[in-house]
Every structure is written in C-alpha cells, then in structure tokens.
Amino acid sequence: MTTYKLAFIGFGNVGKALARLLERKREELTREYEIDSRVVGLATGSHGIAIDPKGIDVLAAVEHLDGGHSLEKFHTSEPVADTYDFIESCGADVLVEISYLNPDDGQPALDYCRAALRNGMHVVTANKGPVVHAYRELEELAAAKGKQFFFEATVMDGTPIFSTFREALPTSRVHAFRGVLNSTTNLILTEMEQGSTFDEAVRSAQEMGIAEADPSADVDGWDAAVKAAALATVIMNAPVLPSEVVRTGIRDLSGADVRSAKERGERIKLLCEGKRVGERVQVSVQPTALPEADPLAQLEGTSSAVTFEMDELNGLTITGHKPGPAQTAYGLLSDLVNAVRAR
C-alpha cells in the first residue's frame, strides 16, 4: 500500500467536502485500492497557508476555518512566501487545485498547475480555466513528467464525462454536442416558469446558496460558455476559447417569456451547442425554446445534461441530478484515484 501526500490550493465548500469524503472513504480506499493519503498542505486566499509533512488533521482544519480562524496553528514548516512557494515546499504527490475561475486567461490557476506538474505532482482540478486555456500544453507537460492532469469536476460537477471518453470510448469522434450545463440558470428558469420574476428567481437561487452574490457569470452565460469551450477543446480536440463562444445569457428574459413558451408546449433552457463545421468547431450558448419532449427540456432545478453525436454511436446522453459540493468533491476523488493508479 502506498501513502500519497496531498496538497490543496483552495479550501472552500468543495475542498471541505473532499476532505470529509477522503476520511469517509479511507477504509474503502485502503482495502479496495491499496491507497492511503495524508494532507500535507492547505493554501487559501483569505485564511492563510499551512504545511505539515506529518499530515494535517483536515477535519479539525475544516472546523477551525468554519469558525473564522486562519490556518496558522496547523503550519509546522518554514514560513511560506506565496502560493508558488507553497507548491515548491509542500512535498506533495498530488495537487488538488480548486482556486477561483478566471475565464479570461485561466490565471493564476494555470500557473499553479504548471508549477505542480514541473515539480513532479499529479494535478486534479475543478477549475475550468487551465483546461480551456492550456489543455494541450498541460497534457504534454504531464506526459513528459510521467504524471496525470485530470479535471472531471470542471463540467457538470463531477458527473463522468471526460473519463467516459478517455476510458470507455476509444477512437470515438464527436460530431456535435448540445446540453444544459449551468445549473444556476436552469434553476432560475424553473422558478420563472412557476411564477417568479427574473429578479425574484435570482434572489431565491442566492438564498439557496446556488447563485453568487454577483450572478453575472451564470446569468450572462459565461460559466456555460467556459464549460462548452472545455467540451470542444478536450472531447472534440478543437481548442475553443470562451471569448470565441457565441454567447447570450438569460438576463433579458422575463417571466412572461418563459411562461408563454411553457403554454406553447416548450421550455426555455440556456442551451450549449458545439458542432463541427469543416475543420473547425462552432460553439454557442443561448436561451432556446425546446419542445417538452426533448430530454434536455425535462431537466428541473439544478440538474444538467449533455448529449453527444458520434461517428459510431447514434447518441449518448449523460445527466447529472441536483449537483452540489459533495458531487464535485467526488469528481476530484475519482480523478485522484485514477491518477495515482494510472499506468
């Protein structure tokens, strides 16, 4: 059995959920996969950095952070100047990168991934930025170092999409995809169908903890655009930047628009589409009225789904029901296990 040393960059709700999941699955991971782990480093943006080569009690760290305290009491090593110094000095085998998303250039998460791979770590991430801005570079760097760069949790919160194509569908060629990939807008549209105004639906999503205080990334279509760009880049082998996605959000929709569609036997969804046009892939995100019989139209609340058209399969639909931090954490855990077991 091998004990793997883990380091986290970012330790918010998803990081805490992963810490709990690792503890809950510890016996199973040891018994079934001969994998043990200890967290040797935590780096956060607002609560400091901690490194302990002997292992950090992560459940105690979660409780400490939830109480509004810093990580200072868990740090036993030399002072650390910044996150790059943290990567250099933590001594981890696997970096779990879950810092904030910057759709414009993927930074600083992109450079964190580069630094970790160069230092001989596997990298697993829930951050879409490095994928859409440097997927091929990071894959090549990982291969050169004999490591893995995995990112299952970047799209649909850990529902297995990338690993399905990587492991179960060799040689498949995707001609097109269409999906509902942003759970927040799907919840907002569902609420609007039931009588809420746009503003009321946004407030409801914020009160549930689904939407951010500033919901622009969701309602203006940026989150969906980055996810669609990631699918095109990885699964269709056609690099697409978020800025190249034809994008329209749901901000200008009224409750009357949504309910009128419902009365016609349609449901408006923020639809993500990618399709091959010659040697290029065109990607769009826009509100679209779908017939109620369409499987994508039947998605309720925060659920999401994507359908792929391929050369050898008539169609494949993958659905994720009511995701949350625990599901995203499972995507990271599955990547972690697959990374350390990869041949």
Q: Tell me the C-alpha to C-alpha distance, in Å, between residue 196 and each of 151, 189, 241, 255, 289.
A: 35, 9, 34, 6, 18
The residue annotated as part of the active site, out of 128, 227, 262, 269, is 227
| Angle formed by the axes of helices 222-235 and 128-145, nearest 10° | 30
User: Is the separation of the CB atoms in 132 and 226 below 8 Å?
Assistant: yes
**Could you write out the three-class secondary structure of the chain?**
CEEEEEEEECCCHHHHHHHHHHHHCHHHHHHHHCEEEEEEEEECCCCCEEECCCCCCHHHHHHHHHCCCCCHHHCCCCCCCCHHHHHHHCCCCEEEECCCCCCCCCCCHHHHHHHHHHCCCEEEECCHHHHHHHHHHHHHHHHHHCCCEECHHHCHHHCCCHHHHHHHCCCCCEEEEEEECCHHHHHHHHHHHCCCCHHHHHHHHHHCCCCCCCCHHHHCCHHHHHHHHHHHHHHCCCCCCHHHCEECCCCCCCHHHHHHHHHCCEEEEEEEEEEEECCEEEEEEEEEEEECCCHHHHCCCCCEEEEEEECCCCCEEEEECCCCHHHHHHHHHHHHHHHHHCC
Nearest-Å Rg of the Cα atoms of the chain is 21
Residue with tokens 């169609």: 315
Residue with tokens 């992109």: 110
d(CA 183, CA 151): 18
73 is catalytic: no
Give the catalytic positions in this structure: 227
